[in-house]
């Protein structure tokens, strides 16, 4: 890039795990610091800031759910709690001087591509004042994640009539006191499995857990690390990274018989018949169990399998007509994952959401790039999830790929990269050929558009395959543009030097 040319700019949306990791990588790997992170909240952390419900913790082993360039030898247990994880990321933000790059209390309202300028026009709103401002950037990284918008069941009537406290794990807030309360927890997936054993430790809290569809469970005891283990991690070269790699390769297949036996060993016998799912393991996301099933033995925990008809002013009416009075109702019902949370307009006035609709659900090339949206990168995008693997690890692999395309742009050699529709279609056809023959098609789940449509969330492979995917194509086609004296020149489509998922990501 000419020393007189204006410096390129990168906008990162979201100061959660993906956004912070992107900023750290831009500085560490490319020496690039002209980026800004827009965060609608008043603090960093993303889902680890928002989810403060009792018992919130990592499902993945924490030494794997750590930034590969900033491992931590002092984790207390094998699966860290929300406060410990949040402190880790606050520490990284300080270490890498990121607070000066983050604009808090600022919501990204729209992102629109200007093909003439080869830049995105980005409108942002100050949450507190409501004022709108605009900025421009050559590159945008969407790091909002897929756990952004809480889901409340649309088929349950009467929520607005309830006079008690209505909660969602992602909207917990401060000062929630459940002592002496009767609490209804709706759901039996990840957040419910952490919440129920935690709040029921207090015998004054009576818990009624409403379970419509049972889950399969895998054991995830939160095993403490000893002082000796922590010392070894901190002082013996490669010991901590070896431990991390062993955790990574230990993610294995689910055995139907073993999972049945696990439920029978841990849950009360009177619940066995209703707790064992009718669908095969892996069809829905299996739930990490660190005390959920065993908490059903407590006298203050009751399970209800009757189904919910509606909410009334004092609680829940089941489909059998029973009225269950409750002081608090917690909808542990997950998130809306098949809708893109931002207004982003690319080439030909198409939005990401309209593109998703044209594809019958979320679709992206390698889960990262979308045809028609030059220089836009989506972290934790479609078909990047591997059950109980580290989502952070997957995002690091994505970031490594993004940097290979970002560097020529910020160096001034290229104005934009846009994946072609053909390359994206070919890649996604390969995915769907595998997914439509997979276990994911055998039940209703959030892995699928609207619960029953296209499988858009999971990756049909092992957790370690994306590290060095042998299916990458050296001749993958991109539309490459160069802006010279305000004239846009199409340069061609062959990018032989770009590897789709390279081996640069440290494991």
Among 287, 312, 331, the domain-final residue is 331
pLDDT classification of 355: cutoffs 50, 70, 90: very high
Looking at the fold, whether 314 and 340 belong to one and the same domain comes out as: no
CATH code of 164's domain: 3.50.50.60
Mean pLDDT of 151-161: 93
What is the average pLDDT across 15-26? 98
- Give yes or no for a contact between 363 and 355, defined as CB atoms under 8 angstroms apart: yes
Same domain membership, residue 199 and residue 317? yes
Please check whether residue 196 is in contact with residue 293, taking contact to mean a CB–CB distance below 8 angstroms: no
Q: What is the pLDDT of residue 250?
A: 83
- Residue of higher predicted confidence among 498 and 351: 351
Residue 282 counted as domain residue: yes
303 - beta bridge partners?
A: 209
173 & 276 share domain:
yes
Query: Are 293 and 402 in a shared domain?
Result: no
What's this model's pTM, rounded to 2 decimal places? Answer: 0.92
Predicted pLDDT at 149: 86
What is the pLDDT at residue 475? Answer: 40
Whether residue 463 is predicted with pLDDT greater than 80 in this model: the reply is no
DSSP string, 28-48: HHH----EEEE-SSSSS-THH
Asked if pLDDT for residue 420 goes beyond 50, the answer is: yes
The order of strands in the sheet holding 376-378 is 102-103, 35-38, 10-13, 139-142, 376-378
pLDDT of residue 194: 98
Residues 374 and 313 in one domain: no
Query: Has residue 385 been placed in a domain?
Result: yes
Residue whose structure tokens are 């860290």: 80
Q: Is the pLDDT of residue 129 over 70?
A: yes
Q: Are residues 429 and 316 in the same domain?
A: no
Which of 307, 331, 355 is the endpoint of a domain? 331
On whether residue 244 sits in a domain, the answer given is no
Whether 370 contacts 378, CB under 8 Å: yes
Mean pLDDT across the chain: 91
Is 221 a domain residue?
Answer: no
444 falls within a domain: yes
Same domain, 318 and 463: no
Residues 168 and 82 in one domain: no
* Full residue range of the structural domain in which residue 174 is found: 159-216+254-331
Based on the fold, state whether residues 306 and 406 are members of the same structural domain.
no
Same domain membership, residue 341 and residue 324: no
In-domain check, residue 2: no
Q: Please give the backbone phi and psi of residue 366, each rounded to the nearest 5 degrees, phi first.
A: 55, 25
On the question of pLDDT at 174 being above 90, the answer is: no
Residue 225 lies inside a defined structural domain of this protein = no
Task: Count how many domains the chain has.
Answer: 2
**DSSP states of 390-440:** -HHHHHHHHHHHHHHHHHHHHTTS-SEEEE-HHHHHHHHHHHHHHHTTSGG
Closest-CA residue to 421 (of 495, 331, 503, 347): 347
Average pLDDT over residues 332-356: 94
Q: Which of 245, 170, 306, 175 is nearest to 463 (CA)?
A: 245
Q: Report the candidate in 267, 321, 320 with the shortest Cα–Cα distance to residue 294.
A: 267
Q: Is the pLDDT of residue 74 over 70?
A: yes
Give the model's confidence band at 469: pLDDT under 50 very low, under 70 low, under 90 confident, else very high: low
Q: Which of 280, 299, 331 is the last residue of a domain?
A: 331
The pLDDT > 70 percentage for the chain reads 91
Pairwise pLDDT comparison (38 vs 252), residue with the higher score: 38
pLDDT in tens, 481-503: 887 644 565 655 444 344 443 33
Residue 1: is its pLDDT beyond 50? yes
**pLDDT for the residue 498:** 45
Question: Does the pLDDT at position 252 exceed 80?
Answer: no
In a domain, 234, yes or no: no
> What is the band of 24 on the pLDDT scale with cuts at 50, 70, 90?
very high
Angle between helices 82-95 and 17-30 (to 10 degrees): 30
199 with 277, same domain? yes
* 116-127 pLDDT per residue, tens: 999 999 999 999
Are residues 468 and 363 located together in one domain of the fold? yes
Looking at the DSSP bridge assignments, the partners of residue 194 are: none
């Amino acid at each position: 890039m000419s020393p007189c040319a204006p410096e390129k700019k990168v906008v990162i949306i979201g100061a959660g795990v993906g956004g912070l990791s992107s900023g750290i990588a831009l500085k560490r790997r490319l020496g690039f610091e002209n980026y800004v992170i827009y965060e609608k909240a008043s603090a960093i952390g993303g889902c680890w800031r928002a989810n403060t419900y009792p018992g919130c913790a990592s499902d993945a082993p924490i030494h794997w759910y750590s930034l590969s360039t900033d491992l931590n030898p002092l984790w207390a247990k094998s699966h860290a709690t929300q406060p410990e994880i949040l402190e880790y990321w606050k520490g990284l933000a300080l270490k890498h001087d990121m607070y000066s790059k983050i604009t808090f209390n600022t919501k990204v309202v729209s992102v629109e591509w200007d093909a003439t300028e080869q830049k995105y026009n980005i409108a942002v709103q100050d949450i507190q004042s409501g004022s709108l401002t605009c900025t421009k950037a050559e590159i945008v990284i969407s790091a909002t994640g897929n756990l952004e918008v809480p889901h409340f069941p649309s088929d349950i009537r009467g929520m607005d009539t309830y006079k008690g406290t209505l909660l969602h794990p992602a909207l917990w807030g401060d000062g929630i006191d459940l002592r002496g309360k009767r609490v209804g927890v709706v759901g039996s997936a990840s957040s419910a499995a952490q919440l129920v054993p935690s709040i029921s430790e207090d015998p004054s809290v009576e818990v009624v857990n409403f379970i419509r569809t049972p889950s399969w469970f895998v054991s995830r005891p939160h095993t403490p690390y000893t002082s000796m283990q922590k010392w070894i991690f901190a002082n013996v070269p490669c010991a901590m990274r070896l431990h991390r790699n062993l955790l990574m390769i230990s993610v294995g297949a689910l055995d139907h018989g073993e999972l049945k036996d696990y439920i029978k060993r841990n849950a009360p016998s009177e619940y066995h018949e209703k707790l064992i799912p009718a669908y095969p393991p892996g069809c829905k996301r299996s739930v990490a169990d660190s005390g959920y099933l065993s908490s059903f033995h407590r006298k203050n925990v009751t399970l209800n399998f009757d189904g919910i008809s509606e909410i009334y002013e004092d609680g829940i009416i089941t489909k059998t007509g029973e009225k269950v009075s409750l002081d608090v109702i917690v909808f542990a019902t997950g998130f809306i994952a098949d809708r893109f949370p931002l207004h982003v307009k690319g080439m030909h006035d198409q939005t990401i959401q309209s593109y998703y609709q044209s594809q019958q659900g979320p679709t992206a090339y390698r889960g990262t790039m979308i045809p028609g949206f030059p220089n836009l990168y989506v972290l934790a995008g479609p078909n990047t999830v591997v059950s109980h693997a580290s989502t952070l690890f997957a995002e690091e692999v994505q970031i490594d790929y993004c940097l290979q395309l970002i560097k020529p742009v910020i160096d001034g050699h290229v104005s934009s990269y846009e994946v072609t529709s053909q390359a994206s279609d070919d890649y996604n056809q390969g995915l769907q050929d595998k997914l439509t023959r997979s276990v994911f098609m055998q039940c209703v789940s959030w892995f699928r558009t609207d619960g029953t449509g296209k499988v858009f969330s999971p990756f049909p492979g092992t957790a370690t395959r994306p590290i060095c995917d042998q299916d990458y194509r050296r001749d993958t086609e991109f539309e490459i543009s160069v802006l010279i004296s305000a004239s846009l020149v199409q340069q061609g489509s062959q990018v032989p030097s770009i590897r789709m998922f390279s081996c640069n990501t440290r494991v």
